[in-house]
Amino acid sequence: MLYLSIAQEAEHWLAAFRSTLPELEINAWPAPVDPSRVRYIVTWNPPAGFFADFLNLEAVFAQGAGIDKLLARDDLAPDVHIVRLSNAGMAAQMVEYALFGVLRFQRDFDHYAEQQMDGAWRQHPPRLAEATRVSVLGLGAIGAAVASTLAGLGYRVSGWSRSPRELPGIRCVHGEAALGALLADTDILVGVLPSTPDTRGLLNRERLALLPAGAALINAGRGDLIDLAALVELLDNGRLRGAQLDVFPAEPLAADDALWRHPKLLITPHIAAATLIEPSAAQMADGIRRLQAGELPAGLVERQRAY
């Protein structure tokens, strides 16, 4: 049995899975089920103790690319597979989000928005894409799509990952030792990293200060990548130009948080790449069939790497 524990649009998800996996019995919370018959669960962040009764569980499929909440659970047995979405329509959305931010800073639209408030008619010298250094942190399926698209539009794109990667037209570096030089050679930094022990707090004050004066930052991966206090300090003293943030250490961002009103921040409510139901259900269905055939599914998480 496949069991869905989904807070929103549960009926839509249920219909998508029943269409994609007609050979499987599928139920959704809050329908009562026999926990011993459940082999697969689709969820995001169920309540504490949720998994304890599913003693024959084989795999949990996350409703997104991030799996940090699942890895932190104490009710999920270590032999249960965790499978994340590796694209399922999210890459195209992330490309659009990153491109919007890159264009906003490259073409000075952030400055023109400020000038509009003052009624100031002042033109800035143009900067072409080929003269704009964009660095992408994270070169998985989604980060690679972002980097490749920007490179195809003429930007000078570099990419950073934990392990070696090769992408046509992109300077790829890897490992913590290579990060400092990459940051120092960046006009616009795009974060598309997951939350892992290696990435949490990766952009601390010391590393943020390595960015050239006037650099900008876009983060749409996970909110714990950045030391926000250090970022605000560098924005306030004029070292950094601005930032576009879609993710935060605690979400939703509190309505009284000062970040909302910071003049150099553009904040969006975790919308850079939303989960699309039909392609996501199709990807998970393929993963279930692979597991049933004794194969490994795409997006299988290596727990020791936290991704």
Nearest Cα neighbor of 135 from 91, 104, 100, 180 is 180
Which parts of the chain fold into alpha helices (H)?
10-20, 68-71, 90-106, 109-118, 141-152, 179-184, 205-208, 228-236, 277-292
- For the record, the structure tokens of 213 come out as 């004066």
Residue among 304, 306, 307, 301 at smallest CA distance from 60: 301
CA angle (79, 85, 91) in 5-degree steps: 155
In 3D space, the residue among 254, 253, 215 whose CA is nearest the CA of residue 234 turns out to be 215
Tokens of 51: 């998994």
**Distance of alpha carbon 26 from alpha carbon 161, whole angstroms:** 38
> CA 185 to CA 133: how far, in whole Å?
7
Active site residues: 222, 270
Q: Find, among 232, 284, 258, 287, the residue nearest to 42 by Cα.
A: 284
